[in-house]
Chains A and B, each alone.
Chain A
Amino acid sequence: DAGITQSPRHKVTETGTPVTLRCHQTENHRYMYWYRQDPGHGLRLIHYSYGVKDTDKGEVSDGYSVSRSKTEDFLLTLESATSSQTSVYFCAISESTSYNEQFFGPGTRLTVL
């Protein structure tokens, strides 16, 4: 299994509070991704990174920001959490863009009350 961890694994927070989720990899892969999983929607891309300090928006980026200060860590921040951001968040990594085979972390379940 690819070395990907996510923290925290579960979090309950209140509307309007800031939340940061962390993805850590030990594979030294260049590309990292944040997805959210919601019933009836499958997984949707939030943001991705193609190198240290290089990030771009995905399909559902509103209300989220990301940072990548070193290869192994990719942070997802909800500046002011809303109930619509209650979801399961998955981080993924990829070594190459040739076929973009991605490996996923275990997920973080976030509940915004």
Chain B
Amino acid sequence: GDSVTQMEGPVTLSEEAFLTINCTYTATGYPSLFWYVQYPGEGLQLLLKATKADDKGSNKGFEATYRKETTSFHLEKGSVQVSDSAVYFCALVAGGGADGLTFGKGTHLIIQP
């Protein structure tokens, strides 16, 4: 079946550091890929998405590129802030239909001032 693998962390960085959170996937067909962010005590917010190979999703300084050849969708940000501290989830949905998302286990990111 479909699956998503991501580093679980916690990942601790200093403010203004470069961020990479790795995400790889296994899926049938041509999945759409997503990054969601969850701040403490809140629900999930869609951060960015990509729906076909070589697409780059971007939002709030975060970027991720859909790499079909390596089945990856790594999240990057050039300079993190304390306010970026949260849990980040990589997710996919394969094909059409009303299927639910398949999530990775989440990566807890901690940014220190």
Contacts and interface: CB of A to CB of B under 8 A. Distances in A.
Interface of A: 31, 33, 35, 40-45, 48-50, 56, 58-59, 90, 92, 94, 97-107
Given A90-B43, A99-B51, A101-B46, A45 B101 contact: yes
A40 B105 CA distance: 6
Contacts of B105: 40-42
Interface of B: 4, 32, 34, 36, 42-46, 49, 51, 89, 91, 93, 96-101, 103-106
A31 B89 contact: no
B43 A44 contact: no
Contact of B89 (A33, A42, A50, A97): A42
Contacts of A106: 42-43
Nearest to A58: B100
Given A33-B100, A104-B44, 5 more contacts: A31-B98, A42-B104, A48-B98, A90-B43, A99-B93
A50 B43 CA distance: 22
Contacts of B4: 42
Nearest to A1: B45
26 contacts: A33-B100, A41-B105, A42-B104, A42-B106, A43-B44, A43-B89, A43-B91, A44-B103, A48-B98, A48-B99, A48-B100, A58-B100, A92-B100, A97-B97, A97-B98, A98-B96, A100-B101, A101-B32, A101-B46, A102-B46, A102-B100, A104-B36, A105-B43, A106-B43, A107-B42, A107-B43
